[in-house]
Amino acid sequence: YRGDTELAGRLITIRTLHARHPRTGCYALHLAVIFNRIEVFKLLLKQPTLDTSLKDHLGRTAMHYAAASSGIEGDATIYHMMRETTQIEEEKNQSKQRCNGSIHGITFDDTVPDQEGFSADDVKMDPDLINMKRVRIANKFPVEMHTPLFSLEDLPIMEQKMLEGDENFIFFDDDDPNASEIKNVLSNLQNRVIAIWEALREGDNRTVKHLVDSKRMAMCREPGTGMTPLHAA
């Protein structure tokens, strides 16, 4: 899409709507929302075969990302368009029900949970539940079709990147034989870093002392600010 909405509209097919990002499993609707392509989103809404319930590999619908993008520093345009479209269709359907007509139309459900149990409504209440910067990095094109396999010998380097608050992190293919073990280690480390910063923000010194048990953890940086617990102290 380069601003030519007429051409983009002609190129949209059922196959286009159901094509998935090779790494994240995002569909065209997800990508239009993630990268805030409002005109493309409008074109997709015109497609009678559009399925708004499709989920990516994390179990998220497009509305999850619309809700996350509608935070203070984001753009809530697409989110409000989703709500407005849903309201209009629900009103039409109520009228058709009274007339015993068929029910159809495009609607967006903000109650569907993702793999972590969060719905789009939950994300709307707390947009920080989804790191949109990381989501955009993961969904960038073009995608390198060859992804090198990672060994456990690389783990210390990746742990250091995590502690340095590196947002441009490594994304694994699902079929990487080493990915599962490495992901578990990095996920535990990430959760620990998040817990440290949550405790610092809440003034929970007892938890901070428990989690910051080494020089390495004392130097973990908060993504976005680059601050360490020592700075906060």
pLDDT, one tens digit per residue, over 189-212 is: 888 888 898 888 888 989 989 999
Task: Tell me how far apart the alpha carbons of residues 29 and 37 are, in angstroms, rounded to a whole number.
Answer: 10
pLDDT of residue 35: 94
Element (H, E) at 223: none
In order of their start, the domains of the chain are 5-135 (1.25.40.20), 148-232 (no CATH)
pLDDT of residue 102: 45
Mean pLDDT confidence for 136-161? 68
Mean pLDDT score of the chain: 81
Lowest-pLDDT range of 32-41, 61-70, 199-208, 219-228 = 219-228
Please give the single-letter amino acid code of residue 212: V
Task: Tell me how far apart the alpha carbons of residues 71 and 123 are, in angstroms, rounded to a whole number.
Answer: 9
pLDDT of residue 1: 47
Mean pLDDT confidence for 87-113? 76
Task: Tell me how far apart the alpha carbons of residues 193 and 138 are, in angstroms, rounded to a whole number.
Answer: 21
Q: Which of 10, 9, 34 is nearest to 21 (CA)?
A: 34
Percent over 90 (pLDDT), the chain: 33
Measured CA distances, 133 to 34, 68, 140, 207 (Å)? 9, 11, 11, 28
Comparing 38 with 151, which gets the higher pLDDT? 38
Residue 178 CB coordination number (10 Å): 15
Residue 101 DSSP SS3:
coil
Element (H, E) at 218: helix 215-218
DSSP string, 15-74: HHHH---TTT---HHHHHHHTT-HHHHHHHHT-TT--TT---TTS--HHHHHHHHTSTTS
C-alpha 12 chain-centroid distance = 23
Note the pTM of the prediction, 2 decimals: 0.59
Q: What's the count of helices (H) and strands (E) in the chain, helices before strands?
A: 13, 0
Instruction: Report residue 52's pLDDT band, with 50, 70 and 90 as the boundaries.
Output: very high
pLDDT(88) > 80 = yes
pLDDT(103) > 70 = no
pLDDT(32) > 50 = yes
Instruction: Report residue 167's pLDDT band, with 50, 70 and 90 as the boundaries.
Output: low
Mean pLDDT confidence for 86-93? 86
Residues with Cβ within 8 Å of residue 173, at least 6 apart in sequence: 23, 147, 179
Say if residues 70 and 79 touch (Cβ distance below 8 Å).
Answer: yes
